[in-house]
Structure 1
Amino acid sequence: MNKLNTIHLHTRYSDGLNDAYEYIEEAIKQGLSSIGISDHSPVPLKSSWAMKKEDLPRYIEELNYLKKIYGKNINIYTGMELDYIQGLDVKGYIDFDELDLDYYIGSVHYIYSELIDGYGTADNTQDMVEKLLNEGFNGDSLAFYTRYYQTVREMIKEYNPILIAHFDVLEKRNIKKILFDPESEGYKVQVEMSLDLIKESCVEVNTGAMAKDIDVLYPSEYILKRCIEKNISVSINSDCHFISGLSFAYEKAIHLLKKTGFNYVHVFDGVMKKVKI
């Protein structure tokens, strides 16, 4: 059995291309230790990828049913990717404390800008992210990534998730360093301030971009090194939106982690467990 798994994936309930049962059957074929379904939480603003609020009861009911059908073959967990949005109460909007979830992961996609009096998204298309930088922050890279990491820090403090999804997702559209210089002192200060808030959460090593032909694993090697130095645990997840991405590029992730100095990752199977790589 493969000791690794994924607890970060998306079905048709949000922006995935497959149903939950299809991922589960593929996970069984691959011999994964377990699987968690974590569709994007409903949010109190217009979104093209979030689950609809009215679908929440059916989502949980379906996953409970699939646990009964497939539970003898693989451990299945009901999760959610809980978006943090500055100025909006996502938890209250979905009556979060009343939900029958096994776990949730925390993430930041939305970046607020006073100049546009609204939100842009951190991992939109290249053109749209550049537009957010230029129109939302007057092309000021420092203001742009400072606002992003400020939001990440608020998410960590308010949500305290077991897993912090795509910690530096801004890197997804910054391969050519068009948006900002990740080697700059200002950027590193924001990263450090954010990492220093992490106490129990794992930082996700996310292979999702690679499954979409974007040659980037996040977090960056620099951030992974700082995680080791700060004794912060990591967990490999695919953030997949289609079956072929279920455990995509895990070997590359393991190679990077070993190169950085990690010998273990954490895998969620009811609780976070330490697994040798």
Structure 2
Amino acid sequence: MSLMVIENLKYELPDKVLYEEGNLQLNAGDHLGLVGKNGAGKTTLLKILMGEVMPDEGRIVWGRRTSVGYLQQHLQFSEEETIMTYLKTAFERLYQMEAEIGAMYLRIEAEPELLDKIGDMQEELEQHDFYQLESKIETIASGLGIQAIGFDRRLNQLSGGQKSKVMLAKLLLEQPDVLLLDEPTNYLDDTHIEWLTNFLNPFPGSFVVISHDEAFLDGITNCICDIEFSRIKKYPGNLRKALKLKTEANELYLKKLPPTTRKNREDGKIHSKI
């Protein structure tokens, strides 16, 4: 099932064209690594997907009711709340439902018909493991090294790296249909990167990840999107397999070129690393 489709995308900067007739399809279950040289347009593509940047041509089509979580490199959120209160906002609707149930119990004598509604809402909370939410929060916070900071610490007391970890934790708790992650391993040590790898491997949704950590990308992806020469190309497999497929495709392409053109291409323009 397709969650997102990019059709005939074009976006041009004053000094270069980032994408020319770019096409890409993100399917359910795609764990996609977005790669390319610095300046190729990886972060810009995520911003286009989120509607923060408008393309010159083409369109982005999201599937109906597809929920998307976006981890940016520069984060903005209210700094007056604590780490725990912020992480709980990942389940805001459930906590609001619990508060509504409490308010209805206070009116139960005057409105006994509320019992059926309370029962339905209580069942929904149980279906979403509401009474295990704090345990889930603690597990993810511990995996990313947040618990050691202290759940009662206010966000305005955190460093930039600590804020990034907290934002990442909230996105993982929300478990949207699609995660868009820009350098999620920034500020994580090897232990926390290993934990994140083990978390993302069985992730039931889809994600698009930008990372300079090739070992991390290799461990979490099942497809790769390469941006090169203003083109967007999707390869199956993790980073190593995609690099091999790209090399094979380039070699086949070179064999079809006239000898003079082939020599110019072999100077390095085609055999660039993903």
Instruction: Using structure 2 for the length normalisation, give the TM-score.
Output: 0.32
Larger radius of gyration: 2
TM-score (norm 1): 0.32
Q: Which structure: greater strand fraction? A: 2
Greater share of residues in helix: 2
Higher RCO (Cα < 8 Å, 6 or more apart): 2
